[in-house]
Amino acid sequence: MQPHGIPIPNEIATSLREAKTQRLIVQINGYEIRRGLQGSKTNGSHIVIGLSLLKKIGQSLDHSVSVIIKPDPEPNQIDLCDELLIALEQDNEANERWKSLTLGKQRGLAYHVSSAKREETRIKRALDIAQKLRTRSLHSDTQ
Taking the CA atoms of 82, 122, 34 and 79 in sequence, report the sign of the dihedral they define.
Answer: positive
* Per-position DSSP letters for 86-126, written without gaps between them: HHHHH-HHHHHHHHHS-HHHHHHHHHHHHT-SSHHHHHHHH
Give the pLDDT confidence score for residue 117 in this predicted structure: 86
Q: Are 83 and 113 in contact (CB under 8 A)?
A: yes
pTM of the model: 0.74
* Domain range summary for the chain, segments of one domain joined by +: 4-71, 82-135
Residue 108 has pLDDT above 50, yes or no: yes
Q: Are 71 and 21 in contact (CB under 8 A)?
A: yes
Q: Indicate the pLDDT class of residue 3, thresholds 50, 70 and 90.
A: low
